[in-house]
Amino acid sequence: MKIIVVGCGKGGTSVLASLVGEGNDVVAIDNSQSVIDEIGNIYDVMCVCGNGTDCETLEEAGVAKAELFVAITGSDEFNMLSCFMAERMGAKHTIARIRNPEYNDKSLGFIRQQLGLTVSVNPEWMAAKEIFNVLKLPAVLSIERFSRGNLEMISLKLKNESILDGLTLIDLRRQYKANYLVCAVQRGNEVYVPDGNFVLKSGDKIGLTASTGELQKLLKMLNLSQKAAKSAMILGASRTSYYLAKRLISSGTQVKIIDKDRARCREFADQLPEAVVICGDCAEQELLLEEGINTVDSVVALTGSDELNILISIFAQTKNVKKVIAKVNRAELAEMAENLGLETIISPKKITSDVLARYARALQNTEGSSVETLYKLMDGSIEALEFNVSPDFKGANIPLKDLSIKPNILIAGIIRGRKATLPTGADIIMPGDRVVVIAANHKLMDLSDILLEA
């Protein structure tokens, strides 16, 4: 698929790398020659140095033949204009990154309609939503939702001397009778789609799927149930901080925000009168102690520096804060942070890349069982995908135990109407269902890709 990406900053480069990794024919546009030279040296892509709203630049990039056009510069308005030009010049689908909180749902709907945008993405809003979900269920590392929340997938880290250490998955089901499915395990650098004989060990990161109620039941059985955070200290007055604070305040959570930029603090104090806004340096331990870092339920580090977010989070953990979350965009630093003991790490760049990878796959679909949701899990080694089942799916109306499914692939859920089922071998997939698939070392474009060729 031919995809054009305008804007090769940090976010744009992350998106570009993801799309190239998916095997797409990518063209990069940026107005900085040095940036374009660097992109050309690293990635096998066509590079065009120029303005993403200039007709000649877009023509040189081949916009008329582009199946997907992505504008992800630092300017919302530039992105919208660039997509508008691309759509008028023949691009089939356009996606603009629009991050400004002033563009609310109503205005965004009008903008998309008038400019012919296929969709808009807001990395900071999506990251805030993900953080909020985790703060409401603090025992987990991450929560992924399918079919509008009818089915959820959580990840957990098994602590040292975990009560699950040494249990096979069959034993786990016998001892803890809730309706759940262990569908992915990461052990060191290895990932597994486990069967019933798989033996869990302390230190494993495991992925479980279940309905919300069943997950709560299981966490309670495992003594992992924790109350939702009632107080949060947010470090850094960023866009993500604003979106997160609004959500937390509306849910009754006490919010304190700390940032050293006086103008930003005034702005936040005006926009979020229910929050306590402190002007100060997040890196000063005395300030953090003075403001009660050792008394809050949660600390979320959202400054503009990955390194500072990691350091603050480690300090918060030494003060026994129940839930600590750090924003870390650089993959190499995220891995280092995990090795240092940080469990919950959020990356807006990764979230955006996952969204665009899902759109690209959906557009490449040929059988009609298109990708509805896509999450990259366990450092990207495992994918969780939700497919909408078409009438042409060859595996429809056949018991799962009779299907020839490729290795390292698991059917983790079937959603029929509003009912989510964790399937057994006797269950069948029907046209109109939504199916959640877990895949390791596979790139699934269509639901039919799970089947071995006859």
- Reported as a single tens digit per residue, the pLDDT across 267-292 is 999 999 999 999 999 999 999 999 99
259, 329: one domain: yes
Alpha carbons within 13 angstroms on the beta-carbon side of residue 211 total 13
247, 315: one domain: yes
Amino acid at 172: L
Asked which of 221, 251, 279 is the last residue of a domain, the reply is 221
pLDDT interval class at 133 (50, 70, 90) = very high
DSSP labels for 79-128? Answer: HHHHHHHHHHTT-S-EEEE---TTS-HHHHHHHHHHHT-SEEE-HHHHHH
Which run of H or of E encompasses 206?
Answer: strand 205-210
CATH number, domain containing residue 389 = 3.30.70.1450
Give the strands of the sheet with 323-327, arranged side by side. 276-279, 254-259, 231-235, 298-301, 323-327, 344-346
Cβ(331)–Cβ(348) below 8 Å: no
pLDDT reading at 219 higher than 90: no
Share of the chain above pLDDT 90, in %: 63
Note the Cα 63 to chain centre separation in Å: 28
Share of the chain above pLDDT 70, in %: 98
DSSP annotation of 407:
T
176, 252: one domain: no
With respect to residue 358, please indicate whether it lies within any of the assigned structural domains: yes
Give the separation between CA 377 and CA 380, rounded to whole angstroms: 5
With respect to residue 418, please indicate whether it lies within any of the assigned structural domains: yes
- The pTM for the full model equals 0.88
Decide the pairing of beta strands 382-388 and 190-192. unpaired
With respect to residue 375, please indicate whether it lies within any of the assigned structural domains: yes
Q: Can you tell me whether residue 454 is helix, strand or coil?
A: coil
Residue-wise pLDDT for 5-59, tens only, equals 999 998 899 999 999 988 899 999 999 999 999 999 999 999 999 999 999 999 9
133, 208: one domain: yes
Q: What is the mean pLDDT of the chain?
A: 91
With respect to residue 100, please indicate whether it lies within any of the assigned structural domains: yes
Q: How far apart are the first and last CA of the chain?
A: 27
Give the separation between CA 64 and CA 40, rounded to whole angstroms: 22
158, 213: one domain: yes
Q: Which two tokens stand for residue 80?
A: 């919208």
Give the separation between CA 392 and CA 396, rounded to whole angstroms: 8
332: domain range? Answer: 231-346
Asked which of 87, 121, 155 is the last residue of a domain, the reply is 121
What integer pLDDT is reported at residue 51 of this predicted model?
96
Question: Number of structural domains, the chain?
Answer: 4
334, 373: one domain: no
Strands (E), 242-356: 254-259, 276-279, 298-301, 323-327, 344-346
Among 280, 175, 191, 183, CA closest to 236: 280
pLDDT reading at 149 higher than 80: no
Which run of H or of E encompasses 349?
Answer: helix 348-364
Cβ(3)–Cβ(18) below 8 Å: no
DSSP annotation of 451:
B
CATH number, domain containing residue 48 = 3.40.50.720
- CA separation (Å) from 144 to 284, 317, 374? 34, 25, 10
342, 241: one domain: yes
Q: Can you tell me whether residue 162 is helix, strand or coil?
A: coil
Cβ(70)–Cβ(6) below 8 Å: yes
pLDDT interval class at 368 (50, 70, 90) = low
What integer pLDDT is reported at residue 105 of this predicted model?
64
What integer pLDDT is reported at residue 331 of this predicted model?
84
104, 73: one domain: yes
106, 135: one domain: no
With respect to residue 226, please indicate whether it lies within any of the assigned structural domains: no
Give the separation between CA 199 and CA 180, rounded to whole angstroms: 17
pLDDT reading at 339 higher than 60: yes
Residue-wise pLDDT for 66-115, tens only, equals 999 999 999 999 999 999 999 999 999 999 999 888 776 667 777 777 77
247, 323: one domain: yes
Give the separation between CA 447 and CA 427, rounded to whole angstroms: 16
pLDDT reading at 245 higher than 90: yes
What integer pLDDT is reported at residue 130 of this predicted model?
93
**Higher-confidence position of 232 and 106:** 232
Residue-wise pLDDT for 410-454, tens only, equals 999 999 988 888 998 999 999 999 999 999 988 888 899 999 875
Dihedral class, residue 166 (left if φ above 0, else alpha if ψ from -120 to 50, else beta): left
Asked which of 346, 380, 414 is the last residue of a domain, the reply is 346
83, 192: one domain: no
Amino acid at 290: E
What integer pLDDT is reported at residue 443 of this predicted model?
85
Mean predicted confidence (pLDDT) in 157-167:
88
With respect to residue 135, please indicate whether it lies within any of the assigned structural domains: yes
146, 180: one domain: yes
Q: Which of 209-213, 343-347, 410-414 has the lowest mean pLDDT?
A: 209-213
Give the separation between CA 121 and CA 142, rounded to whole angstroms: 20
pLDDT reading at 366 higher than 60: no
